[in-house]
Structure 1
Amino acid sequence: MTGSSSPPVAESTPGRAGLGPRAAAMLVFGSSAAVLVVEIVALRLLAPYLGLTLETSTLVIGIALTAIAFGSWLGGHIADQVDPRRLIGPALGVSGAAVALTPSVLRSTAEWAPAVLLVIASLTILVPGALLSAVTPFVTKLRLTSLAETGTVVGRLSGVGTVGAIAGTVLTGFVLVSRVPVSGILLGLGALLVAGSAWVEWRTRGWSGAPALTLMVVAGGLAVTVAPGGCDVETKYHCARVVADTDGTNGRTLVLDGLRHSYVDIDDPTHLKFEYVRAIASAVDVAFPHGEPLVAHHLGAGGLTLPRYLAATRPGTHSLVSEIDGGVVGINREQLGLRSQPGVDVRVEDGRLGLRRLATGSRDLVVGDAFGGVSVPWHLTTVEAMADVRRVLNDEGLYVANLIDHGGMDFARAEVATLGETFDYVALLGEPADVGLDPTAEPEGGNLVVLASDRPVDLRAVQKKLDVRRTGWKVTTGEDLDPWTGTAQLLTDDHAPVDQLLQPYSPQSGR
């Protein structure tokens, strides 16, 4: 009877080809997981060169999705033309070799040919991502034997692939990144993919490229040892290095993702090297009586330069620090002398959540110095976040924040406007051209320091402190600050396009 049976879709039964349902599920699960591992680790590799911005994340996600779409489409098309048993092994093996070579290729390109970094970065995601995504249609083709089971097979393998992608995401984000260097993750993944390629070929026969690809994985491992851009420590969020002074002093610079974040003189915590730190210290010195102990909260740790300074100049001060990256805290303890610093407590937590845990009116001082690359995390910039800062400050309390911006200063203007919505008094410290006090010069951008309080601070005394510390910075407030802020938008939890407002930044200039 016509229609009583379905015509065959494949000429041979996969079980006889050495690829049963369990093996098929393993291949789809593993290849899908590997795509997400590559995507997440690519963000880590690119952070020192492109920053941890929304644009960078969007770029990497977009390229990964393109690779998945292209690989799935092309893999399905080729599977209809060529026996899939001849394709799975090469797809796994070549992607494994590409993944293993990625760390050295990307870091070398960033240092020696930065103009083509985006192209090379795209290829290091596209090539293995497309090859790995093609594995699912290859396996699906092999598992289909009749139209009657099409829905079951496709649905099952699609579900397995999704679970694999989830597993790869969770494993990388919660386990691997915090325990294994980025280069180690990719080298290990590359080796696993080449091993998987050899295993598939052993099951299906017909291809002998695994030894050559194994040599490429080994070459990738050797290349990582000589490639530039290495880290002393790879934390959950940063590629971190500590650079010691070469002049015989005990000064050390904390470098995160290629940017100088903090300078610490372990022997002399009152030695403040960076201008923005001297500006913050000047404001605090003026705002509170000399030597008076404070209860302070710090958003972001860096090298804990300000908490150390307060402990040294205001004995009895208690500084509580919210730092999201436990690796940075470990560096402070192991390499920057934190263990010997009384009065400084650090919590590994998100800064916004840390604020919520503080009692109302419990702090004299809040210092904002949290950064992802050169960007303040957006949720620490909004009207709602500033309302929480104001809540934890007492009536005489002061909020001091470090900002970085360039060009038109759109982000800095928006943040100053946001603070003006929350506090009665706001002042801005920075280079004269950057804060609108030198109309003859073009703003160069860099660090700015903003002060906010519900009581006035003696800004003339702050200016004198800035002059004594030879910063070259000026203070602007009131009628001078209003035109600089202009019609800048307020940042809110509902709309805070911080990464879009920030102007282009050159890593060579440092912080």
Structure 2
Amino acid sequence: MTSNRLLYGVTIFTSAFLLFLVEPMAAKALLPILGGSSAVWITCLVFFQTMLLAGYLYAHWLSRGGPRHRLAHLILLAAAIVALALATHITPSGSSAHPILTIFRTLTITIGLPFLLLASTSPLLQVWLSRRESSTVPYRLFALSNLGSLLGLLAYPILIEPHLTLRAQHALWTAAFTLFAILSTLITTRSQSPTSTPIQSPTYIPTTPRTRLLWFLLPMTAAVQLAAVTAHLTSNVAAIPLLWMLPLAAYLLSFILAFETPRLYQRSIILRVLVIMIASLAWLLTKTDVSLPIGIAIPFFLIELFLAAFFAHAEAHKIRPSTPQESTLFYLLVAAGGVAGTFFVGILSPLLFRSNYDLALAFLLTSALAAYITWREAPAYRILWSAATLGMIALIVALHIAYARQALFQGRNFYGTLRVLRESSPAGPVRMLMNGTIQHGTQILDRPDLETTPTTYYAEDSGAGLAIRSIPTDHPRNIGVIGLGVGTLAAYGTPAYGGRPGDHIHFYEINPLVKPIASYWFWYMRNTQAQVAITEGDGRASLHAAPPQHFDVLVIDAFSGDAIPLHLLTIEAMQEYRRHLAPGGVLAFHVSNQYLNLAPEIAALAQAVNMTPRRIESPAQPQRGEYLATWVLAADTPTYFDQPLLATHTTPIATTLKPWTDDYSALLPVVEWGYR
């Protein structure tokens, strides 16, 4: 019996470890074709939760089948190994025009079958083991499964990503899956058909409709919290596996503690701390001008997520079934709740709302569920959580009113939430484009002398400004820009900034909402004398499909919130950029960022392709609407920086970092844990 439990335990642990190791690996492989958007991971979460539900359905079907069902299972295990062996790595299938379909199609083709088999393992083997031993459902194996999942997540950014390329990761994962398939085959060939008489626990009590509803609502609430917190962090910090992993790790840790050590759950303590955390973060949502260091912001959000998920999962554990007959139904409803929660945040919410209310809605759902769970308890709970629920409703209403009052335009799609605002500033009234909480360009109003001034990060003494002004005057300027924003760089096509008829500025923009916003609400592109072209789609992919453009300056300024599209910062990307430069041309990278110090990495990339990098820090000039900005210029020869215009503004960059490639990147070395 001990050897059986060991075999079952090792197989469950291995399946969970591989399941959550492949999630960040697969999502990272998808980032390039989808512009590095943080929504890639949220949509991947929807896929993973959907496949988890499919896996539980498969386990439900297989646990009730006979020899033919088990034979089918063995055939699918063999087919999964063959499919993984034929695919050397995960290759995106589709385009950025239909990102959600591209993600689902690619993941289904590349890891769909192995993922389904891994997802089905824990509930299936728990039922098989309970039948073999004529016992109740061994829920401790569920905690073991989640421990394997947690370790898989931790292993990826710490051990796997920094040391292995994506191709090597795929090969190693395929080998480990083969080992899992062998273990599963051993168990499947020894498994027994369902007994004719269901095994009932002596204390078995049929579940009520209310209990089954809570099996769905509790994990749904935890999943909404997971997706909302993850989306907030990855859209305003960086779309990197590190920040994908941390919220999911907190979520899994809550599962482990709820099912392995339920005595740790003290409802009164958890709920008191949870209401404080929800109230604090709700207040923070109303303060759009407040920015916390990453070392404070991330732990704060993770603690709230963990408490909310621990509450939901511990309450689900309290009302779990004790018989194999209902255990698979329990897992099905738990998985269905996870699908519903992530689907709402990842897919439905952007379609329903023009602004982002995801975090506020997560807090509302958590408060309402806490009120429902504790309604029959002490009156203090009822009052506390009823008040919290009403407070979250008030918060959503207040946010809606504030957004409507402030915004001239609001729009939301896969790539983020965009708002056009009219604000006061030291330079006077300005019109501003916001992506989440990050400014993406302004234009000064009611001051004819400054209306066409390049503002924010694009002033005359910024890296982009200096690079453009240094273009020789013996020919029209030819400028490329990856990332449209409000079209600020078109200001350099006006006579005030050296622009002349015949100049050409070509923008590349992946978000279809940005072009109409920049054309209608801002007038940089209307007032320029340069010929302006805009190509919609991912900048790197668009350049790859085009003949050499012979740019004097190619600006790389494609950011979603403060997130970094890593596929634009690799050796292969640098080689693509160089193909489009004119002789003597220069690359200008905008690297202003609250949380990441990218200059050393770009210096390493420039050196890897025999270019000379220099950093440019331009000061803030509030009276002219100019922000503190950091740029890195990369030129073919060091003599480029001997020009008087550049010599006094640029500084060398020391770096010991390994240059990133399409097959390798690691952001941990460039994370800034406090304010820069």
Tell me whether the two structures share a fold, i.e. TM-score over 0.5: yes
Task: Select which of 286, 297, 303 maps to 2:486.
Answer: 303
1:218 alignment partner, SS class: helix
Shift of 1:133: 2.0
Q: 1:194 to 1:371 in 2, by over 3 A?
A: closer
Shift of 1:382: 0.9
CA contact (8 A) 1:94 1:213 kept: no
Establish whether residue 140 from structure 1 lines up as the match of residue 312 from structure 2.
no
2:252 equivalent in structure 1:
65
2:633 equivalent in structure 1:
450
Return the letter of the residue paired with 1:474.
H
CA contact (8 A) 1:253 1:264 kept: yes
Q: Give the Cα separation in 2 of the matches to 1:263 and 1:247.
A: 13
CA RMSD of aligned residues (A): 4.8
1:125 alignment partner, SS class: helix
Q: Give the Cα separation in 1 of the matches to 2:370 and 2:593.
A: 48
1:436-487 residue CA offsets vs partner (Å, 9 max, x unmatched): xxxxxxxxx961331334x7875444x33x59xxxxx5246xxxx5xx4464
CA contact (8 A) 1:368 1:401 kept: yes
1:83 equivalent in structure 2:
none
2:282 equivalent in structure 1:
104
2:441 equivalent in structure 1:
262
1:221 equivalent in structure 2:
393
CA contact (8 A) 2:371 2:385 kept: no
Q: 1:397-408 maps to which residues of 2 (within 5 A)?
A: 397-404=585-592
Establish whether residue 354 from structure 1 lines up as the match of residue 546 from structure 2.
no
Establish whether residue 8 from structure 1 lines up as the match of residue 201 from structure 2.
yes
1:54-98 residue CA offsets vs partner (Å, 9 max, x unmatched): 54444333222222333344559989xxxxxxx9xx99x999978
Establish whether residue 474 from structure 1 lines up as the match of residue 649 from structure 2.
yes
CA contact (8 A) 2:308 2:366 kept: no
Task: Select which of 291, 309, 313 maps to 1:129.
Answer: 309
2:227 equivalent in structure 1:
40
Shift of 1:383: 0.2
Return the letter of the residue paired with 1:285.
R
Shift of 1:381: 1.1
2:616 equivalent in structure 1:
430
1:165 equivalent in structure 2:
338
1:157-196 residue CA offsets vs partner (Å, 9 max, x unmatched): 3244234323432331233146437763344455556666
CA contact (8 A) 1:364 1:398 kept: yes
Q: 1:324-335 maps to which residues of 2 (within 5 A)?
A: 324-326=510-512, 329=515, 331-333=517-519, 335=521
Shift of 1:338: 6.4
Shift of 1:125: 0.8
Q: 1:257 to 1:137 in 2, by over 3 A?
A: same
Q: 1:206 to 1:398 in 2, by over 3 A?
A: closer
1:140 alignment partner, SS class: coil
Q: Give the Cα separation in 2 of the matches to 1:338 and 1:178.
A: 30
Q: Give the Cα separation in 2 of the matches to 1:339 and 1:131.
A: 52
CA contact (8 A) 1:363 1:392 kept: yes
1:442 equivalent in structure 2:
none
Establish whether residue 388 from structure 1 lines up as the match of residue 576 from structure 2.
yes
1:415 alignment partner, SS class: helix
2:591 alignment partner, SS class: strand
Establish whether residue 421 from structure 1 lines up as the match of residue 603 from structure 2.
no
CA contact (8 A) 2:612 2:635 kept: yes
CA contact (8 A) 1:36 1:165 kept: yes
Task: Select which of 493, 497, 502 maps to 2:666.
Answer: 497
CA contact (8 A) 1:406 1:504 kept: no
Q: Give the Cα separation in 2 of the matches to 1:280 and 1:121.
A: 35
Shifted more, 233-242 versus 154-163: the winner is 233-242
Q: 1:290 to 1:27 in 2, by over 3 A?
A: farther
Q: 1:27 to 1:398 in 2, by over 3 A?
A: same
CA contact (8 A) 1:251 1:264 kept: yes
Task: Select which of 465, 470, 489 maps to 1:281.
Answer: 465
Shifted more, 385-394 versus 361-370: the winner is 361-370
Q: Give the Cα separation in 2 of the matches to 1:412 and 1:44.
A: 26
Shift of 1:501: 2.0
Q: 1:310 to 1:501 in 2, by over 3 A?
A: same
Q: 1:246-257 maps to which residues of 2 (within 5 A)?
A: 246=425, 251-254=430-433, 256=435
Q: Give the Cα separation in 2 of the matches to 1:9 and 1:193.
A: 34
Q: 1:73-88 maps to which residues of 2 (within 5 A)?
A: 73=260
CA contact (8 A) 1:52 1:372 kept: no
Counting aligned pairs with the same residue, the percent is 16
Return the letter of the residue paired with 2:337.
G
Shifted more, 376-385 versus 300-309: the winner is 300-309
Return the letter of the residue paired with 2:250.
I
Q: Give the Cα separation in 2 of the matches to 1:459 and 1:504.
A: 32
1:13-51 residue CA offsets vs partner (Å, 9 max, x unmatched): 22xx444xxx72x54344333322212222344579866
Q: Give the Cα separation in 2 of the matches to 1:488 and 1:140.
A: 50
CA contact (8 A) 2:587 2:634 kept: yes
Q: Give the Cα separation in 2 of the matches to 1:31 and 1:347.
A: 45
1:336 alignment partner, SS class: coil
Q: 1:184 to 1:247 in 2, by over 3 A?
A: closer
Shift of 1:274: 4.7
2:326 equivalent in structure 1:
153
Q: 1:51 to 1:488 in 2, by over 3 A?
A: closer
2:509 equivalent in structure 1:
323
TM-score between both structures, scaled by the size of structure 1: 0.68
Shift of 1:308: 3.9
State how many pairs are aligned.
450
Return the letter of the residue paired with 1:173.
G
Q: 1:460 to 1:506 in 2, by over 3 A?
A: same
TM-score between both structures, scaled by the size of structure 2: 0.54
1:264-320 residue CA offsets vs partner (Å, 9 max, x unmatched): 3465565234565423223223224367152x4322233321134336624354444
Q: Give the Cα separation in 1 of the matches to 2:587 and 2:344.
A: 39
CA contact (8 A) 1:382 1:492 kept: yes
Q: 1:323 to 1:75 in 2, by over 3 A?
A: farther
Q: Give the Cα separation in 2 of the matches to 1:406 and 1:117.
A: 12
CA contact (8 A) 1:95 1:190 kept: no
Task: Select which of 167, 176, 185 maps to 2:349.
Answer: 176
2:454 equivalent in structure 1:
272
Q: Give the Cα separation in 2 of the matches to 1:155 and 1:253.
A: 52
